[in-house]
Structures are given as C-alpha cells and as structure tokens.
C-alpha cells in the first residue's frame, strides 16, 4: 500500500507530468502567490532595511520617482522614518502565517464536523449544527475585541479567534454536500459490502467533498487576510512595532491627503494577494475534478 502510493507519487512528480498538470494555469495570480509565499517565508532575509529601525530625519520620504524620493528607500518611509518596502515584505509573513494556520485548523474541524454530522444524522447532527448556528450568529469582531483585551493582542490569539469563527462556515456548506453524497448508490453499496461507518466517511464521503473544501479554503484565504488586516487596523491584531499590512494601512490613514501611498500600498498588497487566491482557487477547482483531469 505505502510502496504503491510512493511509486504513484514519483510517477506523478516526473517533469513532463508537472508541466502537463500546470497547463492552463493562470500565470499572473500564480506569480503573485509564489512571490507572496517566498517573501512571507524569507521576509527578514529579503528586506533591504531593518523594518523596525526608526529614523526621524528621513520620515515621510515619497516614492522613488517622486521629487525628493531616493532609490535607497524605493517605496518611501513612514511617519517614523521606517522603510515601507521592508515593512511590506516582513508584514506579508504575518498574513501568510495567519491565513495558512487558520485555514488548516478551520478546514480540518469544519470537514470533520460536516462529515460526522451529515453522515450520522440524528441527535449528533442536531447538536453540532446548532453549535454552528450559535457561533455564526455571534458578532466576531466584538468577541475578538473582548478576547484581545483579556488575553492580549498577538498573532497566536488572532489565529485562535479567527479559527473559532471560520470553521462553522466550512461545516455548514460541506454538510450539505455530505447529505447529497450519502444518497448515492455507491455509499449504499459500500454498506452492502460490509464497510464500517468510519470507512464510509473516510473513503467514500470525504474524498467527494475535497473539491468543495478546496474552493472554500481559497475563498477563505482572502477573507482571513482581510480579517487579520481588519483586526490589526482597529488595533487588536498584531501589536506594534511588528509590521502587518492592516496596521500599516491604519497608520497611513492619517496621511491620506499628503502621503497617500502609505495607506494605498499595503491596500494594494492585500488586494493582489486576495484576488490571486480567488483566481487560483477557481483554477484548482476545475483541475481537481476527475472529470476534467486527463492524466
């Protein structure tokens, strides 16, 4: 079994196959995403300056092509004289980390709850879905504010609070899928073959919701990044001076009429990344469907 799947992986990993599987990939979003991930992981090594270094003498430098700009600080400096480019680069790490961890946690919990509730039905279903309703009806931003004021702001706390509010969305949509899939004759035939409930959920139900799971996840990347930026914007996210896109935009708002780029640049970064995840997710959805796969 293990050797077989290893062999399958190595066969899949050959170069012509990779090239073929990338056929039709939307290049622009892919480049943005690769850039986002690389910069997010190696941000501290790539940043030209220390993102935390304050130098009041060079505060509010404009973009490099504007009057008074310099190539040493191509995207200018903020109100404390910190290099904007470096802060953008390092700030992407926060967005990457938060979105990946939150998606992983929320998708796992959501898929588990959806499969168990949808397949078993009965009181298990009722209890889990009422829990979903309760969480979805709570105002997450207010709870996040309260939570942050009790345990303090920080990346870990953002991840916890966003995970709690992200999984019910998965659970609700995926449960509907499970209800549809379990009506299929192949599930009935699995029962006839003597498959246990666990086996049916794992081998028959779960593989058929992966598609939807991926689509929701890619759409969620955008909203998680936005949520993190929003929390940082209102000051309960990443604590200063650590750079985060949302906090940078918040800092820049005060200078919107004079140094507009301070707020616009992090905004553009957020828009590019969110848009790219959505486009890539759409492509991935088509690719993952075996009906479209011709390998």
Applying CB under 8 A, the residues found at the interface with other proteins are 1, 184-186, 188-195, 199, 203-204, 207-208, 210, 290-291, 293
Q: Least distance (Å) from other proteins to the CB of residue 235?
A: 46
Whichever of 146 and 189 has its CB closer to other proteins, that residue is 189
Instruction: CB nearer to other proteins: give 42 or 186.
Output: 186
Closest approach, Cβ 131 to other proteins, in A, equals: 20
Q: In which residue are the tokens 């404009």 written? A: 62
CB of 180 to other proteins, least distance (A): 11
Nearer to other proteins, 208 or 223 (CB): 208
Residues 6+ apart with CB under 8 A from 232: 94, 238, 244, 245, 246, 247, 250
Q: Nearest distance from residue 195's CB to other proteins, in Å?
A: 6
Residues 68 and 54 sit within 8 Å (Cβ to Cβ):
no
Q: Are 129 and 123 in contact (CB under 8 A)?
A: no
Q: How far is the CB of 213 from other proteins (least distance, A)?
A: 13
87, 69 Cβ separation under 8 angstroms? no
Closer of 13 and 193 to other proteins (Cβ): 193
Of 20 and 203, which CB lies nearer to other proteins in the complex structure? 203
d(CA 64, CA 237): 30
Q: 71 vs 193, which CB is nearer to other proteins?
A: 193
Distance of CA 140 to the CA centre of its chain: 17
In angstroms, what is the minimal distance from the CB of 2 to other proteins?
12
């Amino acid at each position: 079994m293990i050797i077989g799947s290893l062999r399958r992986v190595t066969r899949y990993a050959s170069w012509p196959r990779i090239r073929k599987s990338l056929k039709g990939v939307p290049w622009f979003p892919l480049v943005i995403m690769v850039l986002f991930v690389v910069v997010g992981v190696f941000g501290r090594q790539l940043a030209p300056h220390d993102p935390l270094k304050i130098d009041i003498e060079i505060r509010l430098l404009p973009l490099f092509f504007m009057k008074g700009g310099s190539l040493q600080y191509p995207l200018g400096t903020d109100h404390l004289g910190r290099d904007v480019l470096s802060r953008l680069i390092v700030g992407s790490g926060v967005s990457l980390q938060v979105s990946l961890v939150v998606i992983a946690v929320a998708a796992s919990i959501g898929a588990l709850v959806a499969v168990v509730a949808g397949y078993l039905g009965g009181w298990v279903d009722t209890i889990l879905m009422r829990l979903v309703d309760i969480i979805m009806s709570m105002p997450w931003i207010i709870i996040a504010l309260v939570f942050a004021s009790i345990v303090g702001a920080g990346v870990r706390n953002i991840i916890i609070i966003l995970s709690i509010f992200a999984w019910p969305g998965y659970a609700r949509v995926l449960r509907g899928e499970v209800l549809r899939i379990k009506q299929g004759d192949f599930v009935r035939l699995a029962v006839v073959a003597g498959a246990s409930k666990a086996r049916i959920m794992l081998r028959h139900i779960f593989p058929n919701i992966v598609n939807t799971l991926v689509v929701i996840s890619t759409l969620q990347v955008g909203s998680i990044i936005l949520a993190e930026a929003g929390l940082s914007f209102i000051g309960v996210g990443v604590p200063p001076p650590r750079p985060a896109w949302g906090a940078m935009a918040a800092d820049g708002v005060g200078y919107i009429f004079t140094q507009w780029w301070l707020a616009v640049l992090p905004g553009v970064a957020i828009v590019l990344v969110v848009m790219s995840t959505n486009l890539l997710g759409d492509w991935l959805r088509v690719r993952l469907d075996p009906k479209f796969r011709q390998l």
